[in-house]
Amino acid sequence: MIRKLLFIFTLITLFFSNCIMAQVPKNAEDISPLLIGERLPEANLLDVEGEDVFLQDILKEKPTILVFYRGGWCPYCNNQLSSLAELEKEILELGFQIVAISPDHYESLKPTVDKGELDYNIYSDSGAKLIQDIGIGFKTPEKAKGYIFKKTNKNATDVLPVPTVFILDTKGKILFEYINPDYSTRLSSELLLASLKALEGEL
């Protein structure tokens, strides 16, 4: 009887997993992200130690530049994270904090921090649930899965984020967003700082 129940439970789990994945776009160009004025959903993340962190507790500390990057295996992402580190002093003076999230395994976070000499916090969205809830996720190409495993020695997530930058208020409301399916093109430092200064008076 117990075996039968376990079998049924497994089938139900697989069914719902397949339904969820069926809703994830195959291509980065087909995502449907949240829009300016909408609020981010509640989410649990993992920090560099693998400890649970509640996203809303992070956001309520101060207005946030929230960056979704593909992973520490991505050179374009690492360049972006390093560029943000160089701007951090200016960003803090404007009253904002930097937070970065990827679907990387939490054990891959610390090497990314060390490599980029990052002082701001980065987190793991295990299973890319938040990434999917925000609408910026797409199915990881099979070719990319092999590359990611080679670089990290860990299996790739089934969902990758389109590289995204949100500027949020302390309640998680989106005030600005930059989302580009072309992963090689990122938000420039000049545009980011200009956007922060324009929003300063609204917060």
123-142 confidence digits (pLDDT tens): 999 899 999 999 999 999 99
At 121 the pLDDT is: 97
Percent of the chain with pLDDT over 90: 86
Pairing label, strands 137-139, 159-161: antiparallel
- What average pLDDT score do residues 115-130 get? 95
- Say if residue 18's pLDDT is above 80: no
pLDDT of the residue at 8 = 43
Written in H, E and C, the secondary structure of 113-162 is: HHHHCCCCEEEECHHHHHHHHHCCEEECCHHHHHHHHHHHCCCCCCEEEC
Cβ partners under 8 Å of residue 202, min gap 6: 175
pLDDT tier for residue 7 given thresholds of 50, 70 and 90: very low
Average pLDDT along the chain: 90
- Is residue 22 over pLDDT 70? no
pTM for the whole structure: 0.87
Domains of the chain: 2-202 (3.40.30.10)
